[in-house]
Structure 1
């Protein structure tokens, strides 16, 4: 028989083991979009009621080096990107948008028939490896780049994308997290909770944000993207805005372009091998807040602040599957990735805004009646690209400060619509054309001072001068009329002289 103190020790061990198991299960139930919520986000923002169920348990969260076998290291990824740029230089450009905490460049592959040039074409971006322990996306983007390089002269879909879209691929947003085999970056910050948020105040000081986050924000200030998608792991679903709610509850929270995002999500889901047959998500798509709310996410920030329609794509139930599964995952996602990019030119309304005065492009804005969202045209070429769900009638409105707005009705039942707007300058009450704020000539100070002189304190004098000039003009006209009449009589007399 065991001694009483030994029994007590055994009992204590069993109680401790039960507590640890309960604690582990509680943590695993709070996993959100692939992993734990960032610890800096207040706990009341974390509704774990509808959290996903991962195939791996928490003990597998920190991936060992064995799990990375077959995946490219950061150095190997960098080499692959640079080698691609040399091999496919005719349709690509390689550039960096910044560096990670540990100084690794955030390399981007641009694919286009005119890479680096500004054209009247939409731009699309794919971002992989947002979370360090979700590396499938970084591998798939390299697959995608190579496939487009090999097939852009053979496959019609590849040709369509290369010739009509500027595609930008960022294989790894979080190279430090990948090398550390953890979700956050080198500072242990979840990058998908580090963006400005409309519902909660998170990290308002941009300088205090992570360098990877700032790199993305600056990237979108420099480049105008029409749409994008970020790859994650831990589930199989296409997720769309909004990601959060005002009251922090789990419920459907659609954005102004809810129909458009459902359309985009369905393109990816139904082109996928099995995403649309999900038993957890109807049609393989979900509103982010209806799944569970999160704050500081990248996709909401893209839509609100950058005019970019972004999806969050969960492409693997297993966050870090064996490298042997990567070719299979590529086959499952290939058509989804291609069709989502191609949808930019296969539907929606596209065009340019011009001035009727001199025909130059205008950086105006495009709105659609009934949708509280504005798409801005390019500053240089005046081009715009407005994604819309097909099979509906829309009233499209073009506006520009200093010009009269115009609108027209379109139907999107059979492909995209090309619609150019020619705007007329606004006219003042006196009949003069109002100067556009974009036409400012900073060297015309003397002209401005002269106008102010005429219309300022000396307005009365100017008016008197006009009256005097008008009076003199009337006298001159009357005198000229008398002289003209006299001369006419003389001429007539001459003509009637008989010989």
Structure 2
């Protein structure tokens, strides 16, 4: 009995001395045993390999890649009235990267914001792919009966990629078939890495091509190994671990808090205040998808750690779905419930203009769409913002808005091109334009008067040269 107590005591002491396991980064373990641990109180021990992947997992109860493809296609048939299924490319081993789009007009471009969820970025973090299928089916089953679901379907184009890394899932490891961490394979803002298109992984190229085709307003990727909502920046210029906020730090904190507060217990975290964290403050990474989305894709993305255990037993999946369901729905709804939205048009018939939206004090612009010139600028509630619409060749237009709990709509109307030329003249000459125009008219009238006088004098001279005729 004494021996058993001693063993338990030593085990407890040992477990408290090991650092928490980290999901986004895959930082090599500093202890020689290779063990990692969850970040929440009461989490179980997790066994990881030297590359950060779990070497002992129970795949029973999880969908295989074939099962997932079948489930996606079955969903497309069952819920065809508000969805479509398409592929954005293939993995290294040729597995299609299937996407479910959910909208009241799937496949059609509308002046509405688009949101994307991505799961299974790391092959050994499969909870996201399961939860995203639960999300799609929940929306299908509750459209027109659940107000939140109906709001999303009617006002957002939601795109769901359950598995970005199907090869890694099959291999039960973090990286893809080439053993590359896909969350380090994107171009980086601080270091010259991943700049060669031919060297990037096909899964990475597929995501980048996807964002060139669809203008996403916001997005989130689902990971495992912790319970926290992570936001940019993920790295720092000198690689130091420190809080390093991006220009939109305020709205990112708000979005992360929306997810955390709606979650069953994320906001109660003892490690992360409020259940959210700045990536660089947690630990810096480079070549991550989150920062790339914001810088190059014009998309505000969060990295969501949704499970202490990277690969929990399948019988826990329904519980994890219940823990995350409201958070997942609330985050999507946020893209229409906050910020400023509208279109940039001409006054003669409402022709769309290729413009962008800037916010005074925030060094980040949002482009309007090409087809409808609609913009969706997410901003944290409770603030007063100076919003400027910028269109090349036109004088910028600015308005001030106050955001409370909900968002607002503002359309920017620009005068047509013919009036724009007169605006340019007014800018050049200023208030003296009218004086100059009067002077021009006066000189022209004097010219006409002088010309008329000269003409009369010539007529008189010609009349004086005639001789009288005598009969």
State the TM bucket, normalised to the shorter chain. 0.7 to 0.9
Question: Residues 261 and 35 (structure 1 numbering): CA distance in 2 closer, same or farther, change over 3 Å?
Answer: closer
- 1:460 matched residue in structure 2: none
- Measured in 1, the distance between the counterparts of 2:424 and 2:129 equals 62
Answer yes or no: is the 8 Å Cα contact 1:427–1:433 preserved in 2.
no
Q: Identify unmatched segments of 5+ residues in structure 2.
A: 1-14, 29-36, 429-443, 457-471
1:416-495 paired onto structure 2 within 5 Å: 416-424=407-415, 425=417, 426-427=420-421, 431=425, 474=448
Task: Specify which of 379, 392, 401 is matched with residue 410 of structure 1.
Answer: 401
Task: Specify which of 180, 184, 200 is matched with residue 189 of structure 1.
Answer: 180
1:295 lines up with 2:289 in the alignment: no
Question: How many residues matched?
Answer: 411
Root mean square deviation of aligned Cα: 2.9
- 1:142 matched residue in structure 2: 133
- Measured in 1, the distance between the counterparts of 2:427 and 2:260 equals 52
1:239-278 paired onto structure 2 within 5 Å: 239-278=230-269
Please state how far the C-alpha of 1:55 moved relative to its aligned partner.
3.3
- 1:229 matched residue in structure 2: 220
Runs of 4+ in 1 over 3 A off after TM superposition: 28-32, 50-55, 59-64, 428-434, 473-479
Answer yes or no: is the 8 Å Cα contact 2:38–2:308 preserved in 1.
no
Task: Specify which of 288, 308, 324 is matched with residue 315 of structure 2.
Answer: 324
- 1:487 matched residue in structure 2: none
- 2:31 matched residue in structure 1: none
Please state how far the C-alpha of 1:204 moved relative to its aligned partner.
1.2
1:75 lines up with 2:66 in the alignment: yes
- Measured in 2, the distance between the counterparts of 1:113 and 1:374 equals 29
1:6-155 paired onto structure 2 within 5 Å: 32-34=22-24, 36-37=26-27, 55-58=45-48, 61-64=53-56, 67-155=58-146
Question: Residues 291 and 141 (structure 1 numbering): CA distance in 2 closer, same or farther, change over 3 Å?
Answer: same
- 2:437 matched residue in structure 1: none
Please state how far the C-alpha of 1:93 moved relative to its aligned partner.
0.7
3-state SS of paired residue (1:106) = strand
- 1:351 matched residue in structure 2: 342
1:390 lines up with 2:381 in the alignment: yes
Please state how far the C-alpha of 1:131 moved relative to its aligned partner.
0.1
Please state how far the C-alpha of 1:207 moved relative to its aligned partner.
1.6
- 1:174 matched residue in structure 2: 165
Answer yes or no: is the 8 Å Cα contact 2:123–2:169 preserved in 1.
yes
Answer yes or no: is the 8 Å Cα contact 1:133–1:183 preserved in 2.
yes
3-state SS of paired residue (1:208) = coil
- Alignment deviations for residues 163-184 of structure 1 (CA, whole Å, 9 cap, x no partner): 0000000000000000000000
- Measured in 1, the distance between the counterparts of 2:349 and 2:146 equals 41
Question: Residues 430 and 69 (structure 1 numbering): CA distance in 2 closer, same or farther, change over 3 Å?
Answer: closer
Q: TM-score, normalised by structure 2?
A: 0.82
- Measured in 2, the distance between the counterparts of 1:367 and 1:227 equals 17
Question: Residues 147 and 431 (structure 1 numbering): CA distance in 2 closer, same or farther, change over 3 Å?
Answer: same
- 2:8 matched residue in structure 1: none
- Alignment deviations for residues 109-143 of structure 1 (CA, whole Å, 9 cap, x no partner): 00000001111110000000000000000000000
Q: TM-score, normalised by structure 1?
A: 0.77
Answer yes or no: is the 8 Å Cα contact 1:34–1:319 preserved in 2.
no
Question: Residues 94 and 366 (structure 1 numbering): CA distance in 2 closer, same or farther, change over 3 Å?
Answer: same
Please state how far the C-alpha of 1:36 moved relative to its aligned partner.
2.4
3-state SS of paired residue (1:149) = helix
1:285 lines up with 2:276 in the alignment: yes
- 1:313 matched residue in structure 2: 304
1:210 lines up with 2:210 in the alignment: no
Please state how far the C-alpha of 1:52 moved relative to its aligned partner.
5.9
- Measured in 2, the distance between the counterparts of 1:432 and 1:185 equals 60
